[in-house]
Amino acid sequence: MSRVAVLMGGQSAEREISLRSGEGVLRALQAKGVDAFGFDPAERPLQELLNEGVTTAFIALHGRYGEDGCVQGALELLGIAYTGSGVMASALAMDKLITKRVWMTHGIPTPAFVQASEVSTAELVKALGLPLAVKPSREGSSLGFTKIESESQLTDAIAKAQRFDDAVVVESFITGREFTVALLQEPGGPVRALDVIEIVAPKGNYDYQNKYFGNATRYECPAAISSEMAGLMGALSCKAFEALGCEGWARVDILWDDQTPNAQPQLLELNTSPGMTDHSLVPMAARESGLGYEDLVLAILKTARLKQSAVPALGKEAFA
């Protein structure tokens, strides 16, 4: 790791949060003596990483062009090792529709859903009931999200989500408690779940403002749930991570209706490049396990690698 670029900013709707995450990561790496600098792909072409002598990239980008496999593919071509999941896993996890379809084949519980373009609003309500959650398939930080209570709200909610993505997910709204599970993987080892965090947002509204800028949201770490339920959430999160082919680190968001007997936790989505700001949840869970912010960043950096490195390049002899 002779020279490390912290990729931050980028072109997505989550640019502002990515800059905050990247600045925190950069300070941590420099405090640990790593030769690191910040690099914004929205301002400089990735090719310049080679001119800078970069051997490793810490991806602190969120959303499109940073968390969806695009940057990962470019880094593979440039031969620069990088943190987090590879091209395919990043692309799968970024797409909520595809994620849920993969999870269903593995028996991982996730709220019932329909792609908005496939049926009429009346059919959506008939299939899923009310209330409903409407969200863009390939966006994060709750951008474009709407909870609706009646069919009459659906058209506007879908239009709002379509401002962020053509593909829109409509899913059953799970009334209950909100949790998140941070996942870390040792280089070449199994993934492990950190302590479960419960998110207690004002009026249950964990939106963009309450995630990153307000102080009204309360976080319980570890969550006040039984050890059996915490173990189940952790195991399901690890299974979800493996089902998508992820590696390095991630965060899984979960809803659980604890008022319904025998209700299972419902997995909503998996983030392959979670936030690393002062409000972020992975650093919070890591602290509870005795891993400070700087050591967490270094642990993630140590998992960086080229995911295609084991595949030999085809030389002309292959076609002889």
| Residue 2: strand, helix, or coil | coil
Residues 64, 138, 177, 251: which is the catalytic one?
A: 251
The 3 state secondary structure assigned to 79-133 is CCEECCCCHHHHHHHHCHHHHHHHHHHCCCCCCCEEEHHHCCHHHHHHHHCCCEE
pLDDT of residue 308: 80
Give catalytic status of residue 275 as yes or no: yes
Peptide bond into 111 cis (omega under 30): no
CB 134 within 8 A of CB 154: yes
- What value does the CA radius of gyration of the chain take, rounded to a whole number of Å? 20
CB 226 within 8 A of CB 234: no
Which residue is associated with the tokens 């420099």?
30
Which residue is associated with the tokens 């080892």?
189
Give catalytic status of residue 212 as yes or no: yes
The DSSP-derived string for 202-225 is GGG---HHHHHT-S--EEESS-SS
* Distance of alpha carbon 250 from alpha carbon 237, whole angstroms: 9
Domain spans in the chain, listed from the N-terminal domain onward: 4-83, 112-172, 175-290
pLDDT of residue 77: 95
Running DSSP on this structure, what letter comes out for residue 198?
A: E
pLDDT of residue 319: 37
Residues 141, 210, 273, 280: which is the catalytic one?
A: 141
- The dotted CATH code for 175-290 is 3.30.470.20
> Quick one: which of 189, 157, 5 has its CA closest to 81?
5
Fold of 4-83: Rossmann fold (3.40.50)
pLDDT of residue 278: 80
User: Residue 69: left if φ>0, alpha if ψ -120 to 50, beta else—which one?
Assistant: left
Residues 212, 234, 247, 293: which is the catalytic one?
A: 212
* Distance of alpha carbon 276 from alpha carbon 85, whole angstroms: 16
Residues 269, 273, 280, 293: which is the catalytic one?
A: 269
Give catalytic status of residue 269 as yes or no: yes
Superfamily of domain 112-172: ATP-grasp fold, A domain (3.30.1490.20)
- The series of mean pLDDT values per 10 residues for the chain, 320 residues long, is 92 93 98 98 96 97 94 96 98 97 98 94 94 92 89 96 94 95 94 97 62 75 97 98 98 96 96 92 96 97 86 47
Beta bridge partners of 38: 6
Give catalytic status of residue 253 as yes or no: yes
Sheet with strand 132-136: strands edge to edge: 113-115, 168-172, 132-136, 146-148
Give catalytic status of residue 228 as yes or no: no
Residue type for position 239: K
Residues 9, 10, 14, 63: which is the catalytic one?
A: 14
Running DSSP on this structure, what letter comes out for residue 305?
A: B
CB 31 within 8 A of CB 294: yes
pTM higher than 0.85, yes or no?
Answer: yes
pLDDT of residue 217: 87
Q: Which two tokens stand for residue 215?
A: 């102080």
> Quick one: which of 22, 11, 27, 111 has its CA closest to 63?
11
